[in-house]
Structure 1
Amino acid sequence: MVHVSVPREIPVPLQVEFSYCATDPYAVRLSIGPGHASPVHWTLSRELLSDGIDAPSGIGDVLVRPRAIGRRRFVNITLRSTAGSAALLCPVREVAAFLRHTFTHVPEGSEEQYLDLDKLVLDLTQR
Structure 2
Amino acid sequence: MHYTQDPATPPAATVSFDDFMKVDIRVGTIIAADPFPEARKPAYKLTIDFGAGVGVRKSSAQITGRYTLEQLPGKRVLGIVNFPPRQVGPVRSEVLVLGLADADDQTVLVTPELDVPNGARLT
TM-score (norm 1): 0.28
TM-score (norm 2): 0.29
Structure with greater proportional strand content:
1
Structure with greater proportional helix content:
1
More RCO (CA 8 Å, sep 6+)? 2
The structure number with the bigger radius of gyration is 1
